[in-house]
Amino acid sequence: MNELDETDLLLLKILANNAKHTNKELAAMVNLSPSPVFERMKRLENNGYIKKYIAILDAEKFNQGFIVFCNIKLKQHDKKIGHHFVADILEIDEVVECYNISGDYDFILKVYARDMKHYQDFVFNKLGSVESIGSTHSTFVMAEIKNTHNISF
């Protein structure tokens, strides 16, 4: 982060809120001409500060607004079982985020489903086929209060 100046940080904050700005718009927002902004953007991308640009879809519009956080305990802690679990989870579309965590559980999954019945089917038929899972604990989202991709720096 030492290589970033205030303009770089401002560009990153702007993009974290809306990555659809044109180079010309970004230049106006940071009081530079488009050419240096373009160079800064390329440097930020090449140095890994910007991983990718995405569209954040509204799960409700796709009838997938039932959000569940599912805590997972593996049957055993060994390299082979962990790798199998990760490979299996990467293939399941309903799982939109997966984190290896510390504490009482080994992983936490963020899952989108249509409704409780869909989630039940997901647990029985998809998670149930992942042999490395020892136990699960589900927490159902009642309302999303804050969801941002900004990083405080």
pLDDT tens digits for the chain (153 residues)?
Answer: 578 999 999 999 999 999 999 999 999 999 999 999 999 999 999 999 999 999 989 999 999 999 999 999 999 888 888 899 999 999 999 999 999 999 999 999 999 999 999 999 999 999 999 999 999 999 999 999 998 888 887
Q: 23 near 32, Cβ under 8 Å?
A: no
pLDDT value, residue 77? 87
pTM: 0.85
At the top level of CATH, which class does the domain 59-140 belong to? alpha beta
Amino acid occupying residue 75: K
Q: Classify residue 138 by burial, with Cβ atoms within 10 Å: 0-12, 13-18, 19+.
A: middle
For CATH 3.30.70.920, the residue range(s) in the chain are 59-140
Q: Where do the CATH 1.10.10.10 domains begin and end in the chain?
A: 6-46
Q: What is the pLDDT at residue 1?
A: 59
The CA distance from 18 to 14, in Å, is 6
Is domain 6-46 annotated with CATH 1.10.10.10?
A: yes
